[in-house]
Amino acid sequence: MRDKIIIHGAREHNLKNINLEIPRDKIVVITGISGSGKSSLAFDTIYAEGQRRYVESLSTYARQFFGNLEKPDVDWIENLSPAISIDQRSASQNPRSTVGTVTEIYDYLRVLFARIGRPHCPNCKSVLTKQGPQDIAAKIMAEFKSTKNLAFLAPQVRLQRGEHKYLLAKLKARKVSQVRIDGVLMDIVEAQLLTLDKNKPHSIEALVMEKIPEESTIIKAVEKTLSLGQGNLIVLDLATGKEKKYSELFSCPKCQTTLDELHPRLFSFNSPQGACPTCQGLGRKYEIDPNLVLPNPRLTFAEGAIRPWSRITSHASWYNKTLQDLAARHKFSLDTPVGELPRKIRQMVLYGDGTFEGVIPNLERRYKETDSDYLKTEIEKYMVEKICPTCNGQRLRPEVLNITIGTPPNAKNIVEITAMDIGNLQVYFKNLLQSGGLSESEKTIAQEIIANIIQKLGFLADVGLAYLTLDRNASTLAGGEAQRIRLATQLGTGLMGVIYVLDEPSIGLHPRDHAKLLQTFEVLKELGNTVIVVEHDRQTIEKADWVIDIGPGAGDHGGRLVAEGTVEKIKKSPQSLTGQYLSGKRKIEVPSKRRPPGKEALVIRGAAEFNLKNIDVTLPLGNFICVTGVSGSGKSTLVVEILGKALANKIHRAKDPAGKHKGIAGVKFLDKVITIDQSPIGRTPRSNPATYTNLFTPIREVFAATPEA
């Protein structure tokens, strides 16, 4: 009987003390109407007990990290394996998480670029090359041949904040007699007596030696300076002040651009070495929005048109005085509505004129300087999220974006690769090994890394996610997409003897891609795993080796085992509502008469976010509208990212930026917009349906008004 999972006396939630046997190493579908007890059986009984038993097998030390896992309300379960739950939980809400990082494909890409990446100069685009001490010495001799006296400086810190006392002490211990601090040469003892401003950035170089440019001494000076300067040196002509940088690392002979040794950290937007310094690798940054600072153009400055100054400042009279001085200097009236003032005057008030700080710079400065959480929260009300102007949303430093693999026209940087969809990426990497311009040594180095990347991309394509790009933010994924990503990750582990429990994986999946998902279940089964799926989808049910129908109703009217067996057996069961629909005895009637569209409509113009191709869409109001299409065609982008967010911004003054579009007509016909997505409604243990729907409020009022209570 070890070929079956035997459950006896399952009573979790609304389950009515049911007994059943589930065949192992098969695809098992648990079906039934909503609320009948499917999830109570699959997740709260089978998965919960499988997880609890596995955790109990661990050491006492390891168990402390899992907390106390309660035993489900069941008499006993036999032949239970460790269980893995793959539910509809949304992906990470961390703005740094992408499809690439969640699937770990981005980690392989970072290693690939660190091993075979070809760096180019951000300025002139020429290839950066390495040069040895003798090459550098020869260039110095050629460029400074008429110079009488040279100073060789070893860079220590560049534009780093701090007092740097420890660094100076370390240099003195290494027999350095002179240093250059922020461009000024001085004795090391004199430098140690200085107190550098710890809040300002400083550059410090150690003077290694002063030499007359003769070949025998130049090579020695170069080697010694490179050693102390970690591969970098600066040559200074003491007579003219002319200086030039050299490096034995990657460097550009024309622009003197240098680049550190290629390392996987350099390609990570979660690492200081690779992240864009402006947005710290987020690709977006919060900025003060002028429209939120001056929200009402009909108000005058005297009436409080500058909203943040009228709400969050304790020095309103002082700010008003500075504004009066500005108006007197530039001859405009504070009693004129803001919308009627010249644009130049509005810009001057917002951004300053040299003597007047400006409202926006004032708010930005106060936001950076304050330690008050209250003030930060208040100022954030006037901020909106915008694409980082430095990296243009690409998250990485400019020098990293100029490192490519392959040769033109196949040469791409890491951002260009992550912007490709998974289907095209599979083709790209296969071609890269065959005809992508890699040298034989590069192919040898990259072959295993690329093989792993192609395999992981294949798993994602197999579960119907070939349309996703690796740079897609994980927080924008639907619950079904996040679930299929976790399923693809499990395919890559190659585990056997495991129970996989899935919650309606077909949600959001177009019938075109359904066969791939079902084939994935077959792969897991062939590996020796049991796949238990909670599902309503007909195609999935008919693919199952075994079907369990829970019902017959919902809540207290459910929780019973209505039927179990093969699909054919379920079809013949007179008690099974699911079987009646599968056999065709019952069917969903399609209405013969539809409500005609009215005159009023919403018109979305120029929708171009993600993969939308500048489309115009008309949505008649007062109708039930269905937006459909294959997985990844842009449905959610159109409805949620563009329409939902744009309406929320216009009607409710929300600040979440809408997707790219030219405009929406017909908003005047609406007075409210409600977006219902797959995110959980609440995670607090005190929340329940009565409190969430406010039903509990009148119940409490009834009890409060009843003397007997």
Does any domain span residue 197? yes
**Are 190 and 294 in a shared domain?**
no
**Are 576 and 607 in a shared domain?**
no
385 beta partners: 286
**Are 20 and 50 in a shared domain?**
yes
Under the phi-then-psi rule, with left for phi > 0, alpha for psi from -120 to 50, and beta for the rest, what region is 502? beta
* Residue 602 contacts residue 652 (beta carbons within 8 Å): no
Does any domain span residue 570? yes
Query: Considering 365, 387, 409, which residue would you say is the last residue of a domain?
Result: 387
**Are 550 and 624 in a shared domain?**
no
Q: Residue 702: helix, strand or coil by DSSP?
A: helix
Spatial strand order in the sheet of 18-23:
18-23, 4-10, 74-78
Task: Kindly report the three-state secondary structure assignment for every residue of 138-174.
Answer: HHHHHHCCCCCCEEEEEEEEEEEECCCHHHHHHHHHC
In 3-state terms the chain splits into helix, strand, coil percentages (rounded to 5) of 40, 20, 40
pLDDT of residue 550: 97
**Are 578 and 634 in a shared domain?**
no
pLDDT of residue 511: 83
Which residues, in sequence order, are CB contacts of 306 under 8 Å at separation 6+? 293, 294, 323, 349, 359
Task: Kindly report the three-state secondary structure assignment for every residue of 289-312.
Answer: CHHHHCCCCCCECCCCCCHHHHHC
pLDDT of residue 314: 53
CA 594 to chain centroid, in Å, comes to 42
**The domain that contains 363 carries what CATH number?**
1.10.8.280
**Are 192 and 225 in a shared domain?**
yes
* Residue 421 contacts residue 395 (beta carbons within 8 Å): no
**Are 657 and 627 in a shared domain?**
yes
**The domain that contains 28 carries what CATH number?**
3.40.50.300
Q: Residue 620: helix, strand or coil by DSSP?
A: strand
Query: Considering 362, 387, 412, which residue would you say is the last residue of a domain?
Result: 387
**Are 79 and 137 in a shared domain?**
no
**Are 624 and 525 in a shared domain?**
no
Does any domain span residue 369? yes
pLDDT of residue 457: 96
* Residue 558 contacts residue 550 (beta carbons within 8 Å): yes
Give me Rg for the CA atoms of the chain.
33
Q: CA torsion angle for 241, 242, 247, 252 (degrees, to 10)?
A: 150
* Residue 459 contacts residue 494 (beta carbons within 8 Å): no
Strands 412-413 and 178-181: unpaired
**Are 317 and 233 in a shared domain?**
no
What is the Cα–Cα distance from 615 to 543, expressed in whole angstroms?
A: 38
Host domain of residue 301: 284-387
Does any domain span residue 694? no
Query: Considering 322, 356, 387, which residue would you say is the last residue of a domain?
Result: 387
**Are 613 and 665 in a shared domain?**
yes
Does any domain span residue 685? no
Domain count for the chain, please give it: 4
**Are 615 and 570 in a shared domain?**
no
pLDDT of residue 2: 81
Mean pLDDT by 10 residues, the chain (709 residues): 91 96 97 95 96 90 85 95 85 85 96 94 84 86 82 89 91 91 92 89 89 74 89 88 85 74 92 91 91 91 88 67 89 92 93 89 90 89 89 93 88 95 94 84 93 95 90 84 88 91 87 86 94 95 97 94 96 94 91 89 94 95 92 88 94 87 95 84 78 89 86
What is the Cα–Cα distance from 580 to 587, expressed in whole angstroms?
A: 8
Does any domain span residue 461? no
* Residue 358 contacts residue 326 (beta carbons within 8 Å): no
pLDDT of residue 607: 96
CA 69 to chain centroid, in Å, comes to 31
Sign of CA dihedral 461, 464, 469, 471: negative
Q: Residue 272: helix, strand or coil by DSSP?
A: coil
Does any domain span residue 114? no
pLDDT of residue 682: 67
pLDDT of residue 312: 65
For the chain, how many helices (H) and strands (E)? Answer: 28, 25
Does any domain span residue 80? yes
